[in-house]
Amino acid sequence: MTTKAALSLDLPEEIDHRLDRVSALTNKSKVTIVRQAVAEYLDQIDWRSREIEAALAEADAGVFISHDTMLQWAANLASETPSTKQ
pTM for the structure as a whole: 0.68
Q: What is the DSSP string of 4-33?
A: ---------HHHHHHHHHHHHHHT--HHHH
Question: Averaging pLDDT over each range in 17-21, 64-68, 71-75, which range is the top one?
Answer: 17-21
How far is 34 from 72, CA to CA, in rounded Å?
44
Residue boundaries of the structural domains of the chain: 13-79
End-to-end Cα separation, the chain, in angstroms:
44
Nearest one of 7, 6, 34 to 18, comparing CA atoms: 34
pLDDT of residue 78: 82
Mean pLDDT of 52-60: 95
